[in-house]
A and B are shown apart, each in its own frame.
Chain A
Amino acid sequence: MSLDAKIPQGNMSEKWSAYKGNVKLVNPANKRKLEVIVIGTGLAGASAAASLGELGYKVKAFCFQDSPRRAHSIAAQGGINAAKNYQNDGDSVYRLFYDTVKGGDYRAREANVYRLAEVSAAIIDQCVAQGVPFAREYGGLLSNRSFGGTQVQRTFYAAGQTGQQLLLGAYSALERQVALGNVTQYSRHEMLEIVKIDGKARGIIARNLVTGELERHFGHAVLLCSGGYGNVFYLSTNAMGSNVTAAWKAHKNGAYFGNPCFTQIHPTCIPVSGDHQSKLTLMSESLRNDGRIWVPKAKNDNRKGKDIPEDERDYYLERRYPAFGNLVPRDVASRAAKERCDAGYGVGTTKMAVYLDFADAIKRYGKIEAGKNGLVNADNETIIRLGKEVVKEKYGNLFDMYEKITGENPYETPMRIYPAVHYTMGGLWVDYELQTTVPGLYALGEANFSDHGANRLGASALMQGLADGYFVIPYTIGNYLSNEIATASIAVSHPAFEAAEKAVQDRLNQLISIRGNESVESYHKKLGKIMWDKCGMARNEQGLREAISEIRALRESFWSNVKIPGKVNEMNNELDKAGRVADFLELGELMCLDALDRKESCGGHFREESQTPDGEAQRDDENYSYVAAWELTGNNQWTLHKEKLQFEIVKPTQRSYK
């Protein structure tokens, strides 16, 4: 099958309006007869389910958590970008588009990114109208801050809880539609299979996680808004339940997987403390607005951070990237931290950490506050006290979180941070309409591959999730459903539902009857270690080949020796986890395969064989300017399809933040 991205004709800035102006519509009477299934209730899923409910479609929304409000979008801290130019600092739709394409290291589809930038402003309007309490200035207008990879202030925020506030806004819109009877909500349910009839997605098999029963649900279309797959690394900033299962079932039913190896390692996370570690916690990128990152100039310096004098510190980001300094994009900052630690300059007991230091910011803010209060000769103590108050207002919840986890006070000693898996740019391949290669099956938000190329800029994930759900899918799905108005609801007694349910039941029975000796958790940890060591921040051919054979062996062992207690027909958390880990064990291989195929470095994908003399990622546009879309053709056998990327507007150059 050839890949058609269905990019509309015309000038970049007119494509989306032209599309909207010509797209087929579904009249209100017909919308009532059309059913849509939405998997996942994060920013993409909740906004899509709510918006489609408002339009009059009959929607079913599924999530594995006990309430849609718990989806992991809730944990996003820093903010959401929008080309509002409220700061009069030169921002525009074009700039946001340009920064995002460049930030993604020229591996995103221009037309999608342009549309994202175009709808960004309306997202902020919508959220404010819903009552999302963004930070405001004293005049009552919205406040902005700056994020990595940009030189304007376009990020809207609500303290360090922006994702929470946006998700609660979308959740409230969703609950309103539930109350109005347009959306039916299925919490503590997990999608375990896609049902296809005559080549089209027509429903799902879901498992009720409380009773263990399997359920059949019909839909004229199915939307996967199930998030990313960072938990393939075991340790990541994702929630414990975040998984690839829904996307993987789609992949196994014919949906191509795009750029699976593009993962984002976030530079500022709290370092691993020991083998007991179950997850990693992010410290928002917004901290890099004020915090300075450094390591000692001397190797193996065992003094406390505070005791190392100024001239013996290496502010390596400011040194290497004077133009962007501490605000370089995430992939660049992460690699630079790894480089310093690998070279022996790391700090803390494990030596796998660097400092993020607020001492200068505290002094700077303290002086400004003293000035405001007319304290001409304020002593150092007063300045520090005033400065800490300002820092507390900006980042208080993050500092508290750091202290709870580490037991150290970041107002007094510099934070220790290290990169951690955070986001996956790869995902199901979708066309301009967000449709996968399976008709009627869509992927939104982090679950698709589309807008961030090889590296996502900060505060762009929230923007994309909400853009897809509020402003893209309500239009594009009409183009498909307008051809479905004559399709009556298909009874779930249809043989295709029967067969799909049986396949799910057989797999669950198989898993539970292995009764081996090793827990699900131990397999997940082993997979995570292979992925982190060999398909993590730096990759090379030999390591990737080793990883593939290690994953295959681990997968075989899993299916013969995993130990799952309990029964199938009951609440069984270990069985839930086992199904997810089984899917990660297949995805891991595909990620390594993709990383192996892409013999260039770009964004978060760093092939050691392809770097510039000063250690930056070296792209190879001539050979790799494509989206890798993998088709599953057999049992762990894939065929690569390439969607050639055309750059009409932003001409690819060596990305420089110097």
Chain B
Amino acid sequence: MEHYNMNLTLKIWRQANSNAKGGFETYQVKDISSEMSFLEMFDVLNEQLIAENKEPIAFDHDCREGICGMCSMYINGQPHGPWKQNTTCQLHMRAFKNGDTIVVEPWRSRAFPVIKDLVVDRTAFDRIIQAGGYISVDTGNAQDANALPVPKKDADNAFLAAACIGCGACVAACKNGSAMLFVGAKVSQLALLPQGKPERETRVLNMVAQMDKEGFGNCTNTYACEAECPKGISVANIARLNLEYVQAGMNSE
């Protein structure tokens, strides 16, 4: 792989706090290596800002290996940037070329208010999980793990849904700010497994109610969420969410 260096123009959203009016600022960075990650390029920019006695840019990040779900930049009009099934921290600078202009915004959604610059508040996701995204089994109540065989297909599909990292790219990508891919993934994981069956109906009803309460929009089947999901979570999970919701609703009548 050939490596190269590049000079870039960055237009980045700056906002002092959740009440302040934000706006774009333009920055230049030089000699960025194609081997850097996108966030390492931000490290370079922040070091530059500190040296110039300017305030560095606040952004969320932690594991930098694509699994914690904390990084959350909207890059050139796409959550997590141009690569498919990828997080911002795993985006590398070889995706760009010398002279490019890159626009970086925070997640934009009514349910994810901006805290500062590129940092948003995603605690709504925690509250949705609190509404029912679990199996009620206190520690010490479990039977032997192999006492209940689970068909491999169900286990595999549950795993694919459970791979969600809770980053919120699905919400950011959706023109309605819908969280149905996130909710659908958790509902599907637990509905597919026999362990999740006893609470299946109350779970879906309560999680959807909380989702609505948080101000997330509805799904109009544009599938932008699936296209932008860093873990490739399928919209089939939204279909399953709808099915579970309708069935639970009928049974609760």
Contacts and interface: CB of A to CB of B under 8 A. Distances in A.
B149 A521 contact: no
Interface in B126-179: 126, 129-131, 133-146, 148-152, 155-156, 158-159, 162-163, 165-166
Interface in A97-142: 122, 124-142
Contact of A175 (B86, B129, B138, B155): B129
Contacts of A67: 122-123, 125-126, 166
Contact of B62 (A51, A142, A239, A405): A239
Interface stretch (B63-71, B214-222, B245-253): B63-71
B138 to A, nearest CB: 4
A574 B17 CA distance: 16
B224 interface: no
Interface residues of B, number: 79
Contacts of B35: 273-274, 276
Nearest to A125: B142
Q: Which of B53, B133, B139, B163 has the most CB of A within 10 A?
A: B139
Nearest to A278: B40
A394 to B, nearest CB: 13
B189 interface: yes
Nearest to A571: B116
Interface stretch (A156-164, A449-457, A612-620): A156-164
A241 B68 CA distance: 12
B33 to A, nearest CB: 6
A69 B69 contact: yes
Given A131-B135, A172-B133, A571 B115 contact: yes
B149 A276 contact: no
A401 B87 CA distance: 11
A142 B155 CA distance: 10
B135 A130 contact: yes
Interface stretch (A70-78, A199-207, A245-253): A70-78
B239 interface: no
A128 B94 contact: no
Contacts of B142: 122, 125-126, 128-129
A45 B245 CA distance: 33
Contact of B70 (A70, A136, A408): A70
Given A136-B150, A138-B152, A168 B62 contact: no
Q: Which of B131, B134, B141 has the most CB of A within 10 A?
A: B134
Interface residues of A, number: 84
Contacts of A69: 69, 126, 166
A407 B64 contact: no
Contacts of A187: 123, 126
B139 A51 contact: yes
B149 A141 contact: yes
Interface string A618-657: 0000000000000000000000000000000000000000
A50 B64 contact: no
Contact of B190 (A54, A131, A400): A131
A72 B64 CA distance: 10
Contacts of B148: 128
A176 B132 CA distance: 7
Contacts of B151: 140
B121 to A, nearest CB: 8
A566 interface: yes
A279 interface: yes
B243 interface: no
A165 B159 contact: yes
A277 interface: yes
Contact of B68 (A72, A122, A135): A72
A240 interface: yes
Contacts of B51: 519
Interface stretch (B6-14, B42-50, B98-106): B42-50
A179 B130 contact: yes
B55 A566 contact: yes
B159 to A, nearest CB: 4
B70 A65 contact: yes
A404 interface: yes
B40 A125 contact: no
Given A175-B126, A175-B134, A125 B144 contact: yes
Interface string A455-479: 0000000000000001100100000
A470 B50 contact: no
A442 interface: no
B61 interface: yes
B9 to A, nearest CB: 19
A124 B145 contact: yes
Interface in A138-155: 138-142
B82 interface: no
A13 interface: no
A138 B151 CA distance: 7
A142 B145 contact: yes
B223 interface: no
A131 B159 contact: no
A54 B61 CA distance: 32
Given A279-B64, A406-B1, A408-B1, A140 B50 contact: no
Given A65-B62, A131-B162, A404-B90, 4 more contacts: A65-B68, A185-B126, A239-B68, A571-B119
Interface of B: 1, 17, 33, 35-37, 39-40, 43-44, 47, 49-51, 53-56, 58, 60-70, 83, 85-86, 90, 92, 94, 115-116, 119, 121-123, 125-126, 129-131, 133-146, 148-152, 155-156, 158-159, 162-163, 165-166, 189-190, 193, 195-196
17 contacts: A67-B122, A75-B67, A128-B145, A134-B155, A136-B155, A140-B152, A140-B155, A210-B115, A239-B62, A281-B65, A282-B65, A401-B90, A470-B139, A474-B139, A563-B50, A571-B17, A571-B58
